[in-house]
Amino acid sequence: DAEELIFDETRFSGVARLFPLPDLVMFPHVMQPLHIFEPRYREMLNDALDGDGLIAMSVLAPGWEEDYDGRPALLPQVCLGKVVTHQRLHDGRYNIMLLGSRRARILAEGPATRSFRQAEIELLDELYSADGESDRAEMQAELTVRFQKALPLPKGVKAEGPVHELLASELPLGVLTDLASFALPLDARLKCELLAEADVDCRARMLLQALGAPWKRNRSSAVAAISGYPPRFSCN
């Protein structure tokens, strides 16, 4: 049921289950396959399936290796996602599909009452600034072209296939920036900055700069291959 995939902010308690990983930056509007095998994250998933189905994908801060089994520091930006499908394996592990719903930031982490971590989070609304309206159509057209050229496609997938059709469908700029931020092989630090940025025009400028298109008021640059698209299963 498509209606079940729509995030209802009025029914969100403000407290989210945290699923921190070191190398995955999740974004709204994208679907991510995940393999759940650690006992604490199995408990997290079971709790989500028994409740609102929501999990906040967070990013481990540098130095996490020293305390991975404990409560290592997290970056403040998160993507709140909803479990849309799940498959329980014979040994208790799970394969799930998580749909990114909203960008958010951690306000305060809760006490360690469960094996998994939870935090109070603040949802971040999309911001379309008035001073960016004059450039928006041009930025969207330029970003669409550069996204198509830079998108790494798996072997056997044609550029004029479903991905091309999706990009040609005049997506809202906010959706386009999130799809590009997730799918392109960008530096992980830049991805975190893009997730933290609620201003859609600013995100578009950051991406254009990263893709080699000069644009005023850019904040970041650098493209470094770290992943492919479509995404593979990410393991906890």
CB neighbour list of residue 148: distance below 8 Å, 6 or more residues apart: 159, 163, 164, 167
Regarding whether 105 and 46 lie in a shared domain, the answer is yes
Is the same domain home to 121 and 137? no
Same domain for 120 and 27? yes
pLDDT at res. 165: 63
Helix and strand numbers (H, E) in the chain are 6, 7
* Secondary structure of 139-204 in HEC code, one letter for each residue: HHHHHHHHHHHHCCCCCCCCCCCHHHHHHCCCCCHHHHHHHHHHHCCCCHHHHHHHHHCCEHHHHH
Place of tokens 């014979």: 90
Same domain, 19 and 74: yes
Grade residue 14 by pLDDT with cuts at 50, 70 and 90: very high
- Do 208 and 146 contact (CB within 8 A), yes or no? yes
Kindly state whether residue 228 falls inside one of the protein's structural domains: no
Same domain for 141 and 116? no
Domain range holding 184?
A: 130-210
pTM of the prediction? 0.84
Percent of the chain, pLDDT > 70?
81
Q: For the chain, how many structural domains are there in total? A: 2
- Rounded CA gap, 33 and 28, in Å? 14
- The average confidence (pLDDT) of the chain is 86
Residues 41 and 74 in one domain: yes
pLDDT tens track for 33-44: 999 999 999 999
- Shared domain for 76 and 190, answered yes or no, is no
Q: Determine, yes or no, domain membership for 222.
A: no
> Do 146 and 114 reside in the same domain of the chain?
no
Same domain, residue pair 142 and 83: no
Q: What CATH number has the domain bearing residue 63?
A: 2.30.130.40
- Which band of pLDDT confidence, cut at 50, 70 and 90, is reported for residue 230? very low
Residue partners of 218: CB distance under 8 A and separation at least 6: 205, 206, 208, 209
Provide the 10 A C-beta neighbour count for residue 57.
24
Q: Indicate whether 76 and 167 sit together in one domain.
A: no
Answer whether 59's CB lies under 8 Å from 74's CB: yes
Distances (CA, A) of 161 to 99, 148, 231: 22, 11, 17
Residue pLDDT, tens place only, 145-157:
899 888 876 666 6
Residue with tokens 């291959």: 225
pLDDT band at 159 (very low <50, low <70, confident <90, very high): low
Q: Do 146 and 189 reside in the same domain of the chain?
A: yes
The band of 219, judged by pLDDT with boundaries at 50, 70 and 90, is very low
Q: Crossing angle of helices 133-150/200-210, nearest 10°?
A: 40
105 and 191 within one domain: no
DSSP state of 98: E
